């Protein structure tokens, strides 16, 4: 099953998470499809800017809890799942193409992380983003343990993780984590128009700019990903954490 669609619009490549029945929740097939789509866009010389968005009523609702049992079944399956998630962060951040996030609805956990991995973000006014990992006994990744303190300072970043409170689009804009807030029906067009303006600039200069910025990030970000990898493995393997995920998933299914 292909849960990611791509569309070429001139010099732009629109990459859409397309699993709306599960609010684009993160599973193995979606991770592999997204990696393939981003790699294809990065390798295509005719593509200058990538727009990343989601179909349906959410950008990405985070890990698919229905797949948690399979993901956490063995040490090897846990490692594979985390490697797939972190591969997307590298696809988004360590390439020569700017990535514009067009983010709406829910951006939860890994979806919030991917939003923060984008170079610029256009948010719809219905965006709600938060980190549920501490409540679930899980752990954040996507390099955010380095990126968020750099952007917000230590205390504000810790507040987002420790409390897991829902953040609105306007709140995220006030923190400097999104660039534009627009009505839902204008979100994708606004992101595409912004990407088209960027595509008119010198592709060589843009590639050098992104390479320079990510090179300065690379050592500290790579170390953060390594530490997050180890912490996430521990969380997946923790029986108490697994029970928390199971209880949350049961409550969620009953509420639907």
Distances (CA, A) of 91 to 80, 94, 118, 184, 217: 16, 6, 10, 27, 14
What's the full length of the chain, in residues? Answer: 256
Q: Is the dihedral of CA 115, 162, 78, 229 positive or negative?
A: positive
Which listed residue (21, 36, 67, 133) is catalytic?
A: 133
Query: Burial level of 54, CB count in 10 A (0-12/13-18/19+)?
Result: buried
Structure-token match 């948010």, residue found: 123
Which listed residue (113, 200, 219, 240) is catalytic?
A: 113
Q: How far apart are CA 16 and CA 21, in angstroms?
A: 14
Q: Whose CA is closest to 112, among 56, 168, 49, 50?
A: 168
Q: Is the dihedral of CA 146, 152, 155, 157 positive or negative?
A: negative
Is-catalytic flag, 67? no
Is-catalytic flag, 70? no
Query: Burial level of 100, CB count in 10 A (0-12/13-18/19+)?
Result: buried
Tokens read off for 89: 């962060």
HSE value, Cβ hemisphere, 13 Å, CA-based, for 17: 36
Residues labelled catalytic = 113, 133
């Amino acid at each position: 099953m292909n849960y990611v669609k791509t569309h070429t619009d001139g010099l732009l490549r629109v990459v859409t998470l397309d699993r709306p029945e599960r609010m684009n929740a993160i599973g193995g097939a979606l991770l592999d499809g997204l990696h393939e789509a981003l790699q294809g866009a990065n390798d295509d010389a005719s593509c200058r800017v990538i727009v990343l968005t989601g179909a349906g009523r959410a950008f990405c609702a985070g890990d698919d809890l229905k797949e948690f049992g399979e993901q956490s079944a063995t040490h090897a399956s846990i490692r594979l799942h985390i490697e797939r998630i972190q591969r997307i962060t590298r696809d988004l951040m360590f390439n020569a193409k700017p990535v514009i996030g067009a983010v709406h609805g829910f951006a939860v956990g890994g979806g919030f992380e991917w939003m923060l991995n984008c170079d610029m973000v256009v948010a719809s006014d219905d965006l709600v983003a938060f980190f549920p990992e501490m409540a679930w006994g899980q752990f954040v990744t996507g390099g955010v343990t380095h990126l968020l303190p750099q952007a917000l300072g230590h205390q504000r970043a810790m507040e987002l993780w420790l409390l897991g409170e829902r953040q609105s689009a306007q709140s995220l804009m006030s923190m400097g984590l999104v660039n534009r807030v627009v009505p839902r029906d204008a979100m994708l067009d606004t992101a595409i128009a912004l990407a088209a303006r960027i595509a008119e600039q010198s592709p060589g200069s843009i590639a050098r700019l992104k390479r320079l910025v990510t090179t300065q990030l690379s050592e500290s970000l790579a170390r953060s990903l390594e530490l997050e990898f180890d912490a996430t493995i521990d969380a997946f393997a923790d029986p108490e954490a697994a029970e928390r995920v199971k209880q949350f998933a049961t409550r969620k299914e009953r509420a639907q």
